[in-house]
Amino acid sequence: DTGVSQDPRHKITKRGQNVTFRCDPISEHNRLYWYRQTLGQGPEFLTYFQNEAQLEKSRLLSDRFSAERPKGSFSTLEIQRTEQGDSAMYLCASSWDRLAAYEQYFGPGTRLTVT
Amino acid sequence: AQTVTQSQPEMSVQEAETVTLSCTYDTSESNYYLFWYKQPPSRQMILVIRQEAYKQQNATENRFSVNFQKAAKSFSLKISDSQLGDTAMYFCATLDQGGSEKLVFGKGTKLTVNP
């Protein structure tokens, strides 16, 4: 069990560019979550997968955001036409199932800076 | 909609002393979980303690314990024998058992343990 990993850890991009982040959950965890954390705030939910199915998306997830989890393993979060307001820490978490009492394991995050 | 309020943006405590972090929440659900997560500086978020709403007994994990007051919708975290490694942001979070599996976080309390 190597924990949840995220890549890259830091990303600096210019406004208008597209960026993609990757999350590798703990192996055999079937649930995967994306959260966004801005400075001085707690994480806010973005979207959630059970296996490969995207079951819920927050209204925070505008049309410029898209997330996938092909084959129910790793997940990617893409932001198109980045804006300065997208600057934040993007956190990924995974969990086993409801029987695991909903414990979510978090990755180290990807810090995005849009200049 | 669920909401979580942490009214103490920052707190400090001397090493070996006890500190209590406050959290209030609001939910319309009858079955839910409450969590305290710890986010050390530049490190990933980890679960400190978990409470199931239907359990009246307060959860404890070593030096960490909670005071769960369901009627008052209060969920405070007590840290006994504070250690330097307890310095971190602490987030209170709730999760509705019957619906979405997303965590809803408060804004956090920055705890500093002084030597």
Across A70-81, average pLDDT: 94
Give how far A100 is from chain B: nearest CA, Å: 12
For residue B92, which amino acid is it? Answer: C
* Residues in chain A whose Cβ is within 8 Å of chain B: 4, 31, 33, 35, 40-45, 48, 56, 58, 91, 93, 95, 98, 101-109
Distance (Å, rounded) from C-alpha A98 to C-alpha A8?
A: 29
Is the confidence at residue A71, as pLDDT, over 90? no
Greatest mean pLDDT among A58-67, A86-95, B52-61: A86-95
Distance from CA of A53 to the nearest CA of B (A): 14
pLDDT band at A18 (very low <50, low <70, confident <90, very high): very high
Which member of A42, A105, A109 has the closest CB to residue B105?
A42
